[in-house]
Amino acid sequence: MTILAIILLAGSFALSLILTAVVRRLAIRGRLVAHPVADRFHQKPVPLGGGIAIFVTITVIIVPAIAALKFLVAPGHLGFLSESAAIYANDFLGKISQLAIILLSILILFLLGLWDDLKHLGPFLKLAVQFAVAIIAAGFGEIRVEFFIESKIIASLLSAVWIVLIINAFNFLDNMDGLAAGIAVIASCILFTAAAISGQVFVGGLAIIFVGTLMGFLVFNFPPAKIFMGDAGSLVVGFFVALLTLRTTYYHEAQSGQWYPVFLPAIVMAVPLYDFISVTLLRITQGKSPFVGDTQHFSHRLKRRGLTDTQTVLTLYLAALCTGLGATFLYQVNLAGAILIFAQTFMILAIIAIFETTSM
């Protein structure tokens, strides 16, 4: 299984790297660029289209991977792989119907985001499409919360709200070079760890492909960015992170009966959710629409304290990593330990809040 994981990670990284470089050149020629505006920090035109590379990489890796698993790995034709690989392959192949819904969902979100990058759509149309995709994914693709809620309808509706929330959290987070993609990588690695602990091959495989894809894109997106992902990328990234949070198993009643690991996604998402909630409240209190972009995101507020783009992004990477690492211990601690992890998460966000609001 380790060999398969390495192949998926390396393959997705290499393909994403190549496609991002190609898309960047094409975007410049096709004038698909983000020009400097008042609500953005970049000072010169930057090519858009990173979302194209992200979407194509995920799709191009997943479809051939399924074919390889079905016709090569599962039948045992690849002798250098362990016998257990065939078992893992069959487990993955059993989720093909779910995978079809996932691919359809990211296709719709990708097209919506690309349309928005080109034509600047209104927020309510985007929200309507996002909710439609989320309901389909939760109701038919089984991308929903499954613990403690017996009603499939209620579970699907709650999951759809969570999906839309995370999609928009990452859409908001995509406000500085390398920020959204980097935090998505950190969150996905934490979720991959949780999936591995639970023995979830399907979720783990998707996480590996996703991480490799974003790492290839980050080569060009890390400050100073040579390409942006645009909404075509941020909507797909947000959906994929939401997918991983909902499909990873956190609650193991047979093992311990502990319920608090179900909060692992909220702790892993603490940094993106902090940005989403704080900037939304700021805009509302100022009498502005929460959907109108500006430079009040917490990354911008940190930068105004004197940090460079790279320092700001690395600071937020560290914050996301600290909260995520704490979340991984929810499986192993008692209630008192869980309370300490929750408190640690709050204190990390409090440090950011104090720093970003302190006058120079």
Per-residue model confidence as pLDDT tens digits over 114-162: 999 888 888 899 999 999 999 999 988 888 876 666 778 888 899 999 9
**Is the pLDDT higher at 270 or at 84?**
270
* Cα–Cα distance, 10 to 310 (Å, whole number): 26
pLDDT at 39: 55
**Is the pLDDT higher at 84 or at 344?**
344
Q: How confident is the model at residue 316 (pLDDT cuts 50, 70, 90)?
A: very high
φ, ψ of residue 286 to 5 degrees: the values are: -90, 5
pLDDT at 182: 96
Distance of CA 298 to the CA centre of its chain: 18
Quote the longest CA-to-CA distance of the chain: 65
pLDDT at 254: 42
pLDDT at 213: 97
The helix (run of H) or strand (run of E) holding residue 46 is strand 46-47
Domain boundaries, the chain: 2-256
pTM strictly above 0.85: yes
pLDDT per residue as tens digits for the range 284-299: 888 887 777 777 778 8
Percentage of residues in the chain with pLDDT exceeding 70? 85
pLDDT at 9: 92
pLDDT at 184: 96
Please say if the pLDDT value at position 90 is more than 70.
no
All residues at 6 or more sequence positions from 206 whose CB lies less than 8 Å from its CB, including other chains: 62, 102, 240, 243, 244, 247
Terminal CA-CA length for the chain: 52
* Cα–Cα distance, 132 to 97 (Å, whole number): 18
